[in-house]
Amino acid sequence: MALPTLLIVEDHKLLRMGIRVALEKLSCCVVLGEADNGEAAVAEALRLKPDVILMDVGLPGIDGIEATWRIKEKLPHTKIVMFTAHSEPEDITAALGAGAEAYCIKETPVESVAAAIASVCRGEIWLDPSIADVVIRSRNDSGNVQGITLSDSEMEILALVREGLDNDAIAVNIDRSTEKLARIMSGIINRFIEKAAISDPTHDTHTKITRTGNWLTEEQLATVKETVFDGKYAVGELLGSGGIGAVFKARHIFMDRLVALKVIRRELSEDRYAMRNFQREAMAVANLHHKNIVEIYDFGISEDNEPYMIMEYVPGSTLADLLQDKQPLPLHQALTLGTEISLALDEAHSRGIIHCDIKPSNILINQSGQNQIVKVVDFGLSQMIPKNRQTQSLLTDKFFVCGTPFYMSPEQCSGSRMDFRSDIYSLGCVMFELLTGQKVFKGKTPSETFEKHCYQAAPTLAQACPDGQFSAALEHTIACMLAKDPADRPQSMGEVRQALLKEGMRLQPS
């Protein structure tokens, strides 16, 4: 029997290559081709007509969900295995509603991906155990999953999927034939498809019809269609802007998810420096998954040739907003914020990434109940370790020196070689401001500020804020973070975090 043919759709080149090698080694399919974005996926599918498509969800251009709709319209018999890194309930229900036959989480073993390919070729539905787990956990007291009612017997099947049983074993457990099991699972999937919007992505007005749920109705979409970006993002309020671009609150109209849309200024799209930093940010954060780092969902070029980035939307304010009145924050709050920031940077450093632009406006604060959730954003100036060239050469890059001088390390100011200890100095500047309400150094010009960072000793916390009650240990920690020589600073963000945690514990009542 001939092996099924496969098209691999994945925007990360190394992962795409790894999947191809692993699947070919298992001799479970014949890989006909690859695609790295949604438009290319549709074009290659129509050209190659593969038996199966392994489809990434988060793709540049049109995403995998929209690409699946388009392919299924032209090639209804082609089987599609959704391949996603996102495991939130709303992401999973959107993927289930795309009309594919199998759904995998990217962390799943390659043998399971091969099993999914074999299952769909037999006409079966295949679910990753992690997918089933998300659906089960998102069921509410009324028995609904994202507005879809599942029976007890259907939930039993999903529970068996979650346990890792294959379709034959599940059929035996529920005393049904594999054909009957396939029909039941298809019924589950079809209800998600009924819930999802039916759209014609090629229609000029992006007309969208929906039957139920919180999706935009056709009438609602008519009011925003003039502000739909790249055919799928309804643009809302401006969240912020700078020299390179602007960030808007937006909603993915096919997945009903709030996102932050970052668009580079049109006049800069041909500027290689601006584009390099924009691409660097996407590359730096694409594989960083941490509770204190804003995630990037997508990166691409719009239909109007506008480079854009889709990021996690974080409601709330920035650390700069908290510091507007130039008053110190409560000591415990400042230490908690510093600890969370150090956690994010420790994760970035462990992946070989220096942020290079730590400052209050790049720290987002989301108030969730009594808790503050800290998110580090804007890795546009980030550098990779080890560095292949001196930072001096980067100082000719006008967007590199766009980093705010108040928070730049001596080595960054002088063009010396940088490593992760530069971020430690910048965080020291931020912590100094949180604790005192004052900047460490503030010259009349950027050059004067650079000079102070390089040659002038930093004031103590007590000198900047005589009314503050700072322990000798905290004074020592901040002074070490602000040391001119990187060798005199803490040698990791882990050390910084431990020092701040220890100080925080000292403040707790015994």
Three-state SS string over 325-385 comes to CCCCCCHHHHHHHHHHHHHHHHHHHHCCEECCCCCHHHEEEEEECCEEEEEECCCCCCEEC
64 CB-near residues (< 8 Å, 6+ apart): 9, 38, 41, 55, 56, 57, 58, 82, 83, 84, 95, 98
Q: φ and ψ at 199, to 5 degrees?
A: -130, 160
231, 162: one domain: no
For residue 241, what pLDDT is reported? 65
In angstroms, rounded to a whole number, what is the distance separating the alpha carbons of residues 128 and 95? 12
247, 388: one domain: no
In one-letter notation, the amino acid at residue 309 is M
Q: In this structure, are strands 126-127 and 102-105 parallel, antiparallel, or unpaired? A: parallel
129, 183: one domain: yes
The residue whose two tokens read 């503030």 is: 442
Alpha helices per DSSP H over 258-317: 272-286
Write out the residue range of the structural domain in which residue 231 sits.
Answer: 208-312
In angstroms, rounded to a whole number, what is the distance separating the alpha carbons of residues 408 and 347? 20
Q: Count CA atoms within 13 Å of residue 143 on its CB side.
A: 8
302, 321: one domain: no
188, 230: one domain: no
- pLDDT tens digits along 126-155: 887 877 777 777 776 666 666 667 777 778
For residue 148, what pLDDT is reported? 67
305, 324: one domain: no
Residue 30 lies in a domain: yes
Residue 202 lies in a domain: no
Residue 26 lies in a domain: yes
CATH number for position 497: 1.10.510.10
Residue where a domain stops, chosen among 174, 195, 216 = 195
128, 357, 378, 423: which is the annotated catalytic residue? 357
Distances (CA, A) of 61 to 37, 300, 420: 6, 6, 33
- pLDDT tens digits along 435-487: 999 999 988 877 888 889 999 999 999 999 998 889 999 999 999 999 999 99
Residue 201 lies in a domain: no
427, 288: one domain: no
Residue where a domain stops, chosen among 173, 195, 217 = 195
Residue 180 lies in a domain: yes
Residue where a domain stops, chosen among 294, 312, 330 = 312
Helix (H, G, I), strand (E, B) or coil at 207: coil
For residue 444, what pLDDT is reported? 82
Cβ–Cβ under 8 Å, residues 48 and 7: yes
For residue 226, what pLDDT is reported? 47
348, 305: one domain: no
In angstroms, rounded to a whole number, what is the distance separating the alpha carbons of residues 21 and 114? 12
181, 216: one domain: no
CATH number for position 17: 3.40.50.2300
Helix (H, G, I), strand (E, B) or coil at 258: strand
User: Which residues in the chain show pLDDT less than 50?
Assistant: 194, 196-226, 385-402
Task: Classify residue 508 by burial, with Cβ atoms within 10 Å: 0-12, 13-18, 19+.
Answer: exposed
Residue 242 lies in a domain: yes
For residue 279, what pLDDT is reported? 67
CATH number for position 233: 3.30.200.20
99, 213: one domain: no
Is the bond into 386 cis (omega within 30 degrees of 0)?
A: yes
For residue 229, what pLDDT is reported? 79
Residue 389 lies in a domain: yes
Residue 398 lies in a domain: yes
Count of domains forming the chain: 3
25, 154: one domain: yes
- Residue 346 annotated to the active site: no
231, 366: one domain: no
The pTM of the whole model exceeds 0.75: no
CA angle 394, 400, 404 (to 5 degrees): 135
